[in-house]
Amino acid sequence: MNEKTVLAALIMVLAASGCLQNSIYPVPGADYASRPDPYYTIDDFNTTEYAEVYKVAYQSRGATIYGLLSVPHSCKEDRPCDAFVLLPADSITKESEQKWLGNKLNSMGFITLAIDQRGIGETGGSVPSLKENFATWAAGRETTQSMMVYDALAAYDLLLSRPETKGVYLEGESMGGRQAIIAGAIERGVKGLLLISTSGYGLPETPYQNMTDFLAYIDPDSYIGEISPRKILMIHGTGDWVISPEVAKRTYGFAKPPKKFILVEGKFHGYYHVTNTTLPQLLEDSVMGWLLG
């Protein structure tokens, strides 16, 4: 059952039960714009051809978030580099994200921080269903989806606190891209967004104001227009079997310039599923030649 089907069923259940009345519509930016100084632990992990890799753990909204911080050998306090927070897709661990996209960005001279999102890898825990998230939201409490946005912002703060970091971009794939969009709208210090195989939800309008507000609250399409004047680079495969190019283009349409959409021939979802051998070079050219330009 896909997300739209689940939401349609949820709307009918909640409407019949009378739960679509008088709930609070929290705005993430109201809580997240002011954040404490980052605190984290760091340990050696391994050394790759391109970078020193460290295991980090930081606190965020009642959870310990685990990540891999990779610092290219050329990045020093007196020679700082730009950095990317890497927000993987659902079920993808920090180790896989580092192996594929992190290593590629390190080879291009970027610091990266790949995290295990909630419900994944060492971070663990569980991610509630849409119905459970709605009930939490309707009660005026913070949803897990919002906590995951805060996790991304805390990762941004961690990177920015490092002496070898010059500036920070957000990168997200699939589910991670959705969090990157919302986090980038909230934190104006983010330099730009790299989005791979992602989109908003393309959710239908409802006759119930409460549900309409909730869908707007969780949908990146509501936020992507706030990224401007910072750049957005979206990369999508023609054969993406999870998020269609049409849905991705719809989200892209809500973004304001400067923005760029690259449609790549190939059947892949996320950088780690790449079967198209042209994508690594295309990624490098578009990041170095446009996103940073």
32 domain residue, yes or no: no
Q: Give the span between the Cα atoms of 238 and 248, in whole angstroms.
A: 11
Question: Residue 224 sits in a domain of what CATH number?
Answer: 3.40.50.1820
Q: Give the span between the Cα atoms of 168 and 259, in whole angstroms.
A: 18
If one counts the domains in the chain, the total is 1
The torsion angles phi and psi of 236, rounded to 5 degrees, stand at -145, 150
Q: Give the span between the Cα atoms of 189 and 156, in whole angstroms.
A: 9
User: What DSSP line would sit under 16-51, residue for residue?
Assistant: HHT-SSS-----HHHHHSS-PPP-EEEEEEEE-SSE
Q: Give the span between the Cα atoms of 235 and 173, in whole angstroms.
A: 10
Count other Cβ atoms within 10 Å, centred on residue 55: 16
Tell me the HSE value of 112 on the side-chain side, using a 13 A CA sphere: 30
The pTM of the full predicted model, rounded to 2 decimals, is 0.89
Q: Which residues pair with 112 in a beta bridge?
A: 70, 84
Task: Encode the chain (293 residues) as per-residue pLDDT tens digits.
Answer: 454 554 444 444 444 434 433 333 344 444 677 788 999 999 999 999 999 999 999 999 999 999 999 999 999 999 999 999 999 999 999 999 999 999 999 999 999 999 999 999 999 999 898 889 888 888 888 889 899 999 999 999 999 999 999 999 999 999 999 999 999 999 999 999 999 999 998 776 677 677 778 888 889 999 999 999 999 999 999 999 999 999 999 999 999 999 999 999 988 999 976 666 788 999 999 999 999 98
89 domain residue, yes or no: yes
Under 8 Å between Cβ of 248 and 202: no
C-alpha to C-alpha distances, 123 to 13, 66, 94, 293, nearest whole angstrom: 33, 6, 10, 35
Please name the amino acid found at residue 107: S
74 domain residue, yes or no: yes
7 domain residue, yes or no: yes
30 domain residue, yes or no: no
Domain extent at residue 57: 3-23+41-291
112 domain residue, yes or no: yes
Query: Would you call 97 helix, strand, or coil by DSSP?
Result: helix
